[in-house]
Chains A and B, each alone.
Chain A
Amino acid sequence: MADKKLSIITTKGTLDWAYPPFILASTAAALGYQTNIFFTFYGLQLLRKDLNLKISPLGNPAMPMPMGMDKWFPVLGTALPGMEAIMTAMMKSKMKSKGVASVEDLRAMCMEAEVKFVGCQMTIDLFDWNPKDFIDGVELGGAATYLASSGGADITLFI
């Protein structure tokens, strides 16, 4: 059982999309999978020391909104200033009330369970990001690094 391997590429940096990679990776690690996540493009935001992840109803007609707002609220309304902050606060409070772990907690649990985090060097160069802004223990690499650490994986996911 300890021989199974899960490999994830995560490309999105919003609060909602932070959940699938960290939930799957932490659970897989608990089940004894050797697990690694490659963070590229906006996915790298999930590795910042200070997480400030947000969600946006903009361009997301599938997102439920409180009080049936998603049914009658004009699409353009989702672009109003402050909408992002409001929806993010609402989502966070809903998650808390439903006993859903915070992204910070899930990430910490992944690290505790020795999930391997690899950050995309090209993305850091592209956006002129400072590697110091990211949490410790992240290896930086490229496509070849990803392929080397993911060869023979039983499950591979692109998120």
Chain B
Amino acid sequence: MANFDQELDATGLNCPLPILRAKKALATLATGQTLRVVSTDPGSVKDFDAFAKQTGNTLVESKQEAGKYLFLIKKNV
């Protein structure tokens, strides 16, 4: 996974908490910075895709690794 500016551990959290926490974390970042989110919620795969599309941020990477879901979101707005 590429470099990131901040990491959010959302493991063990269920819908909609990973999204809500990610939104909060992104608010603290500057435009162009990236947030890595680690989640265990299988629903978060589609949710982060939808989140990025609707907020205008870029989902740079979305992958599954050792039972965890990893997302890299670049803040655009």
Contacts and interface: CB of A to CB of B under 8 A. Distances in A.
Q: Name A's interface SS.
A: loop
A30 B41 CA distance: 18
Contacts of A27: 16, 19-20
| A1, A27, A31: residue with the most chain B Cβ atoms closer than 10 Å | A27
Q: How many interface residues does chain A have, given as a range?
A: 10 to 19
A1 B51 CA distance: 11
A23 B55 contact: no
A44 B41 CA distance: 31
Interface in A52-105: 98-101
Interface string B17-47: 1011001000000000000000011000000
Given A30-B23, A109-B20, A23 B15 contact: yes
B65 to A, nearest CB: 19
Interface of A: 1, 4, 23, 26-27, 30-32, 98-101, 106, 109
Interface of B: 12-17, 19-20, 23, 40-41, 51, 54-56
